[in-house]
Amino acid sequence: MATPYSGPIPRPTPETRPYWEAAKQHRLLIQRCRDCSEWYFYPRPLCPRCFSRHVEWQPASGRGRLHTFVINHRPPRNFPVPPPFIIGVVELEEGPRLLTNIVGIDPDPSKVKCDMAVEVVFEDLSDEIALPKFRPAQ
């Protein structure tokens, strides 16, 4: 049996609630502007490109490329994550970049490479919150 998660839990806000509701169902949603078609992340009520309020949540492919990463060797305060672990910025096929954890690969710089193909996986922290993380594409 897995040890229950004991770290901090994200608290959805009105702006982020659709993101977290989808993640709970193991789906990745990001916002897209209906006026200029820009995909963007982090959630906000205005398009960062044209400032339109005509934005909507759209399913993302969950596929992308590792833009950059760091292998962290210091344990994060209040997080039950043993070091070393990989923190990465993933550029989704749709364009936006997400800060996330890279899992499913040894935290070894000879194995983790910028521009490698990745795909989303979800870690259930509780009945209400699942975290999107990324692993090397299968």
Q: Which residues, listed in sequence order, are joined to residue 98 by a DSSP beta bridge? A: 90
pTM higher than 0.75? yes
Which pLDDT score is estimated for 4? 75
Cα distance between residue 8 and residue 6, in whole Å: 7
- pLDDT tens-digit series, residues 3-29: 577 788 899 999 999 999 999 999 999
Kindly report, residue by residue over 88-132, the tens digit of the pLDDT: 999 999 999 999 999 999 999 999 999 999 999 999 999 999 999
